[in-house]
């Protein structure tokens, strides 16, 4: 068993040796997520939903690795501008999406609609979205803008499927990049690739990243390092508390901030090497209920589960 370093030990390390960013691996990110959803499903009260999300991730994996879907190369001038101003180079909100993303979305929808794990109601949603893509692509673009902006008036039955297409598209852009092309981003706490908020964080194991905490992007699957016992929302270090379900699975906690009164979940790879920022967050809604009862709000939503009225 590998030992998780304390915050003091981490701060004493040569941080030039710690990868600042962990870019997604195209061949693995969604395949691994699908397997994780499937492994979590049997012990969950959300078995059917997690199995459907496994089907979604499997569709994303196929689309991301399909050479027929070519996303445009990122303009070197834009990368240079991002470096100069400390901004994400392919910022999600306002990014001029290429039409290939809609074809990627259609591919995801068709596969999910035909998957054995997809309930009839969800399959009908997917088929309806395919029809809308063909008849009124501008409608889909407007819905995608709303999803990326995190608007609360998005149809919660539709949003996860649109997000699945957007995730595939942005991940395929992210894998084009190298860490040296990404600036140290301002403002604090957003993805250095696309500017999206993290869904949760993972304390990693192995080699240079052993004991280091990485935030996981909800959109492009990029991870970026943040020193532990630091609020990922407001950067406070004085009023950080950790919460867990009594008798629950080890290595699953909520990190809350007494200053801004928000939380994000934190997962420990030492306890389970297969944790995934999106899948494990979605599978631990009981912890969300407990945190709400204690007066804390989620810092950001899980992109694969939406409801009316906020995060």
**Is-contact 247 257, C-beta < 8 A?**
no
pLDDT of residue 13: 46
For residue 118, the SS3 value is: coil
For residue 151, the model assigns a pLDDT of 87
Kindly state the helix (H) or strand (E) to which residue 262 belongs, with its residue range.
Answer: strand 262-268
Report which secondary-structure segment, H or E, holds 222.
Answer: none
State residue 5's pLDDT score: 42
Centre a 10 Å sphere on the Cβ of residue 151 and count the other Cβ atoms it contains.
11
What's the pLDDT score for residue 153? 84
Yes or no: say if 216 and 278 are a contact pair by the CB < 8 Å rule: yes
Q: Which residues have a Cβ under 8 Å from the Cβ of 132 and sit 6 or more positions away?
A: 139, 140
The one-digit pLDDT tens for each residue of the chain (311 residues) are 334 445 455 444 454 578 999 999 999 999 999 999 999 999 999 999 999 999 999 999 999 999 999 999 999 999 999 988 889 999 999 999 999 999 999 999 999 999 999 999 999 999 999 999 999 999 999 999 999 999 888 999 999 999 999 999 999 999 999 988 887 877 799 999 999 999 999 999 998 999 999 999 999 999 999 999 999 999 999 999 999 999 988 899 999 999 999 999 999 999 999 999 999 999 999 999 999 999 999 999 999 998 743 44
First to last CA, the chain: 36
Per-residue model confidence (pLDDT) at position 226: 96
Planar angle of CA 288, 292, 298, nearest 5 degrees: 65
Please report the pLDDT score of residue 275 as a whole number. Answer: 97
Residues facing 215 on adjacent strands: 201, 224
Peptide bond into 187 cis (omega under 30): yes
Backbone angles phi and psi of 65, in degrees to 5:
-95, 10
Cα within 13 Å of Cα(43), Cβ side: 9
**Domains assigned to the chain:** 25-174 (3.90.1670.10), 180-298 (3.90.1670.10)
| CA–CA distance, 50 with 195 (Å, rounded to integer) | 27
């Amino acid at each position: 068993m590998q030992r998780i370093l304390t915050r003091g030990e981490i701060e004493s390390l040569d941080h030039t040796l710690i990868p600042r960013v962990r870019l997604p691996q195209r061949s693995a990110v969604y395949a691994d997520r699908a397997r994780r959803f499937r492994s979590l499903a049997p012990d969950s009260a959300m078995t059917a939903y997690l199995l459907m999300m496994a089907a979604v991730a499997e569709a994303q994996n196929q689309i991301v690795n399909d050479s027929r879907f070519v996303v445009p190369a990122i303009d070197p001038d834009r990368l240079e501008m991002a470096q100069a101003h400390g901004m994400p180079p392919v910022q999600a909100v306002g990014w001029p999406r290429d039409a290939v993303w809609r074809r990627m979305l259609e591919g995801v929808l068709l596969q999910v609609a035909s998957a054995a794990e997809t309930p009839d109601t969800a399959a009908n949603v997917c088929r309806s979205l395919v029809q809308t893509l063909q008849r009124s692509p501008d409608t889909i673009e407007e819905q995608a803008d709303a999803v990326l902006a995190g608007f609360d008036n998005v149809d919660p039955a539709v949003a996860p499927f649109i997000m699945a297409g957007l995730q595939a598209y942005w991940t395929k852009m992210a894998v084009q990049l190298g860490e040296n092309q990404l600036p140290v981003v301002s403002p604090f706490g957003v993805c250095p690739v696309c500017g999206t908020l993290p869904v949760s964080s993972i304390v990693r194991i192995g080699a240079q990243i052993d004991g280091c905490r990485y935030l996981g992007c909800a959109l492009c699957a990029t991870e970026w390092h943040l020193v532990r016992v630091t609020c990922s929302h407001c950067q406070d270090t004085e009023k950080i508390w950790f919460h867990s379900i009594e008798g629950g699975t080890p290595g699953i906690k909520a990190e809350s901030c007494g200053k801004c009164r928000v939380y994000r979940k934190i997962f420990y790879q030492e306890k389970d090497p297969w944790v995934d920022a999106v899948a494990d967050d979605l599978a631990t809604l009981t912890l969300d209920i407990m945190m709400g009862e204690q007066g804390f709000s989620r810092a950001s939503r899980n992109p694969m589960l939406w409801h009316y009225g906020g995060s």
